[in-house]
Structure 1
Amino acid sequence: MGSADLAARFEQEFGRLPDGVWQAPGRVNLIGEHTDYNEGFVLPFAIDKTARVAVGVRPDSTVRLLSTYGDHGMVTADLGTLAAASAKGWTKYPLGVMWALQQQGITVPGVDLLLDSNVPLGAGLSSSHAIECAVITALNDLTGAGLEPEEMVLATQRAENDFVGAPTGIMDQSASLRGSKGHAVFLDCRDQSVQLVRFEAEPAGLVMLVIDTRVSHSHSDGGYASRRASCELGAEVLGVKALRDVRLEDLDEAAGLLDEVTYRRVRHIVTENDRVLQTVELLASAGPGSIGALLDASHVSMRDDFEISCPELDLAVSTSRANGAIGARMTGGGFGGAAIALTPVTSEQQVRAAVVRAFADAGYAAPDIFTVTPAAGAMRIS
């Protein structure tokens, strides 16, 4: 839905025009999975699928929230009594942002808010962070808070961790708030420094396919938290601030200090950080056609060492590779969601057809397959 259509729908629902419309993109993580909360390196990019919010300031402390999708009905809350336990469904994301801003001493006004999003839900493309980033961009403008992108990243992380209850890092918000068209966001999660790395598949004769397995996941469930706990245990036993500080050459020694499962969790993080650095170097020197083997190795590591894949993701990856993709991996937090397949334009239709056929043969629900390109970050659009 375009900004004019969303504003018109807002007027229809709330009886007045909004003060503006803002949008923030979902993201695909090219490489660097679960490294963010280990103070490591990630390489996501903002995608051309966005969450949009039309927002109008109210004279009181009431918040009214409405979404264009689903039969959710209007949700009303009061800014004076925001509590995580009372927030349900998608509304916990905008309410969490409002709560986090209040925790920073920012006076948040009551608002009417209408959400529209075409970021697939539960696909590992960060639909929730897209909502949060659109809302915080709107509130930053409307309150005159003057927050820098780095500050908005930390505020939305606080909303996720302490209000939504998902122990996520800063990668998703950073991609959504700091993305740039035609570039991936090389993020150092220790100091939040960002380097934009050119990543354009089409000039290299490639497309980035996203294969949404339609196996939904939730980061507030236990699998993500248990992986994070393993990483924290590994860092504690190895005597480092974070697994970012463990080098490849330290892994042999680590194997003698850690139990077998914790060691494999640690090995994934250490090797994945190295793969991110290699990918950044290769993109600069040889272009996107050179990174396929690193995508493949990342998936194997997530499947075997971090154990966050699932049969549908593994099938999407193996079928893509067998039918012409130059590299493929699951992307996102895992336990479902989407895989990406970097594919020659000439093989795109073959890969699409083969994956659909493989899913049908396995008795899985039909996947949703689409292309994405690196897009601009969060902004006001009207």
Structure 2
Amino acid sequence: MARNERAKRHKPGRYPPDLHRQAYGRGRGAWCHLGPRAATGDRMQAAICTGYGGPEVIGLGTLPAPVAGPGQVVIGVEASTVSAADRRIRAQDLPRGFGLAGRLAFGLRRPRRPVLGSDCAGRVLAVGAGVTRFAPGDAVIALTGLAFGCHAEQVVMPETGAITAAPRNLSAAEAVSLLFGGVTALGFLREKGQLRPGDRVLVIGAAGAVGAAAVQIAVVMGGDVTVLARGKRDASLRALGARAVLPSMVHARPAEAGPRWDIVLDTTGAYATAELQRCLLPGGRLLLVAADLPQMLGGLANPLRTYPVRSGSVPERAEDLHQLVDWAEAGWLVPWIDSRFPLAQIAEAHRRQAEPGRMGSVVIDIPG
């Protein structure tokens, strides 16, 4: 049978044969984050991104359920989020200078890994040989990073990856809302910003997942936090621990706000480096979560400048997830959820993630 005839005869709602090969690959080890095909023929629902473009390029389909190989755990996903990274990859809305690099990294014409989602909360369904840290039934949270795969009913990952026991006092939706923003904020503030008790911290874009986590984590670490955020959000942002909320009129020129800070963390990518450096005290650090290529290269070219610029990615480690869990169980890190959608409404969730009025994480509920 010809290739195009096989594509026409695939079952409704299932992955067409050509995209099935894209997802699972022809070679050994392809797509290990979704796991090998289940010998039982079990299938799962997944949100499948068939190309680059608007939210309409993502829809619900079915894929073979993963099985656990040696050292791996299969997680029954109960909740995930649509993060800024998911939206940027789907839309190829990447920071300036990363267009070609993004296509080479993620796929030229469509995502090489069409099941997006890099965070999940759920329960362990199965473990492979040699796994000792987890057992079926354990409630866990996990990050798969650029392996993605979490916008599905099941995902498989190594026991040694970024996975740990879930907070005992939070639901799956609440727990997963802390992960992407929490790990990103912790990495920037602790490693890149070297935040010390008493540091004055300005968070720009505090209403998003990363910004809201940054406010709370900076407070826990002893920082004196001011936020810059559009809209009437003063009460909500103060409840997260911000001591001061700058008025929206300052948004155009944050350097004219008057005070200066030891750390400026910008999650928006909307401001020039020079503008933000004028907000810093001597010895201050500028942290750019959404830096474009010129900003990143500028920081690397002169790392010893008066106001160092730090950007780039942060590692995803089980110990960092465990730190977030400790703070959540102590009540120091609270969920910040904007909205919740079922997996079947994945396109609507992507639309919401892109809206400027969003406050917090966009959560995907995935019933087992």
Give the TM-score, by structure 1 length.
Answer: 0.26
Higher relative contact order (CA 8 A, sep 6+): 1
More helix by share: 1
